[in-house]
Structure 1
């Protein structure tokens, strides 16, 4: 491509961006106005419930009102975060309970105790007081400017050759030309100022919606406590599984070996029966016991994982799938054994769910590493083309994946709309 062609292409891209920026800003500010109108309703509900709480009746609705306010703030966090290009974390210490409308007064008490209620109310007021007028101005200014810009084309057709502009009455061509210039100036101000206004508004609301330093510290402490509790639960569940496998499988095989050897001893002492047959059965039972012990050991830490690493071990899992599956790996990096183990068993569980429940005809496992704020993270995504509808709350498999990953400070995101596809995304810090 020539330099002139590259320059023309770059200029067209800049023109497209310059057109999109005011349009995106207009969408954001109009959305802010609509959000402000909804926030006004939320504020009215909160004030009404607070007033009724004085006589005790409102306490029954405190949880619903608190949940309504938090959901409004969470939606605004998502919208403002998308505008600013960064995620705004939730400051709530009890996010799961906070969104449950029937959780009762405890939700409202947590809302007050964690210090987020005044900031949430301030965010709603900001949207009502600032967002609604800004949205109205952003929508009306270009319309009024276009009207002023168009007046020179038709003012002379009005009765008596005169018409009213927004600021003065048009009675001559010079005044009509001035009206057109005012319209052009209004459109210029609108296109230049709108992105700056959008950015300032989003940053102001971010300051109200983002957690404070103290809230971040409390959230971190709560997450660490939950992480330790989850790790203990996962470890306990793993110990119970191993104990169950040893009791139900290996122990039964060893009991069978003992019985067959005892039978052979009695046959030798009495000189009756076929001793060779009893010893052969004892040998078969011992082989089965050894095979069962190997299976249990592999369930604790697979040999392929210890000998070859995470990627080859996942490759073996994919190769054993009953449906066509493939493994894609991008920019592999070293990971600790705890992360390897968590990902291996989580992917194994996800693939088992695909094979048993999804009715999929193909499956894809994608493994990648990325650096986020100086921290290396490994991301694993298992995607199938099945019928979808998977819900972590209804399946112990997905819940187990979540517990295993979250115990190491990771996150699990399940996307499974009805009709598919289903995607299980697991993200873990490599320093776990």
Structure 2
């Protein structure tokens, strides 16, 4: 398979920074838009439809920044101590069709529109670049934030350009795996909505005594000590989970790498983790069947149920109601911390009806079964993601001969995906 190396800047036909506009209409900010942030990338990557911020922008900005199918959005500011900036997301038609107004990138992102290359292939090239840590080469820090040096990246990053047929096969194979992940994720979205409906029906008619969350749960029950000397740690920070969807764990070997100072909270199956910063960003999840070597950030409050009548699934649905999120955000905005934040005591003070033994007898098995199916689907998604991540560098580098790949064998009911750009 013949190839040549080209400067990535030569493949970008249009690029512009995102915007944030204004909350209200007026003074030239007259076009209503949905704004895509990098925090939304993980949910979109698995088929989610996150509630984007609705703002007003100038028509001139919208004409330049409105997203189209095949566009790539690049994160240019953000990152954490262990995660560089430079994440990307591919914009697809079905995503844009789910919003009735133009979608633009947020101000910490940048639109990339390409030519002379299969855009899906370029997206997976950028995914491979990020996975290999090369985006560290293009960032610097200012005012505490990591910023992506787009000009340097545009002039120095080289793309391995193969013939268009090979680009299409590589893109189709990887996109087909991602499509299976999205399908499972959408099934989970429907299952969660079903569980919420049953929960809300119970909650509306519940007549049990009100109890505080502190009466039915413990908070931050287990702490890791470096003296335990785990050989490998899977670490989850607050930005890596949104509405139960985990973007990924940092794999750390403490004997040779520095363990983040916030990697201290142990978790068990059935634990709920809830980020203490900006509840409105919905960095929370119910953890089922985790590996033994998982630690989460001290930026989370870990909630572990202790009352037999309140199963973890019911407690999770209670804590993640929109009304509860809004209430916690109001509390956070009154805090004196650097960022709007809540304390474990704020979660502990919330009140919910205590189910009767009869209610628990039918409600718990139902919710447990729903969440067990969802967890099984997530496990399948994780295996598919491992397959994709293992094959991605081999396909991009040419180590695997794409002419021998039979896309129809990937899934008996999902044939080769032609919806690539």
TM range (shorter): under 0.3
State the structure with bigger RCO (CA 8 A, min sep 6), 1 or 2.
Answer: 2
> Which one has a larger percent strand, Structure 1 or Structure 2?
2
TM-score, length of structure 2 as denominator length: 0.21
> Which one has a larger percent helix, Structure 1 or Structure 2?
1
Q: Which structure has the larger Rg over C-alpha atoms? A: 1
TM-score, length of structure 1 as denominator length: 0.21
